[in-house]
Amino acid sequence: MTQAYYSAVLDCPLDDVWSLIRDFNNYPAYIDGVSESVIEDDKRGDEVGAIRRFCYLGNWIRQRLVDHSDRQHTLTYAGLEALPYPQDDGSRTPAPTRYQGTMHVRPIVEGDRTLIEWSVALDTEPADADRWQALFASWIPDWTDSLARTLARAHPRS
């Protein structure tokens, strides 16, 4: 098991950040490249056990909401199918990985900002761990930047 982790300061109050990300089905609203998302079986976007199916850069992905806390401002999701390695640089392609991600937001009192911590635990073949970790370590900052841009458009600061 390996982990990719990223944290950042968002120039927006905690309540604004949480209201955007707390709905598991809201991915298209804040992640560039997600064109659509649906929750299966008429579950709510904050209901543990809900499954979202979303299209990211032309690929359909299914994830289950495994934990959600409005009090702790955290949500955890798990991929339902092993994720295939997306790049082919001519070397041996890593085996698909299972993963579980957690988004946690906390208030920063100074400036009424928000700390976001986003981590993804990767269940990989040992020989593939470094490549998977590096890939997610490059993706998570991109997703966080996309979230920050969305928040800046919706809640501009003077």
53, 61 Cβ separation under 8 angstroms? yes
Least confident range of 24-38, 74-88, 102-116: 74-88
pTM: 0.92
Helix/strand/coil for 155: coil
The residue among 13, 85, 75 whose CA lies nearest residue 49 is: 75
What value, to the nearest 5°, has the Cα angle with vertex 106 and ends 105 and 110?
135
pLDDT in tens, 136-148: 999 999 999 999 9
Which CATH class name applies to 2-24+67-154?
alpha beta
Task: Give yes or no for residue 91 having a pLDDT over 80.
Answer: no
Give me the pLDDT at residue 158, please: 60
Type and span of the H or E element at 140: helix 129-154
Higher pLDDT, 88 or 155: 155
7-61 pLDDT, tens digit each: 999 999 999 999 999 999 999 999 999 999 999 999 999 999 999 999 998 889 9
Nearest CA to 97 out of 131, 65, 67 is that of 131
**Res. 88: pLDDT tops 70:** no
In the predicted model, what is the mean pLDDT of residues 63-91?
91
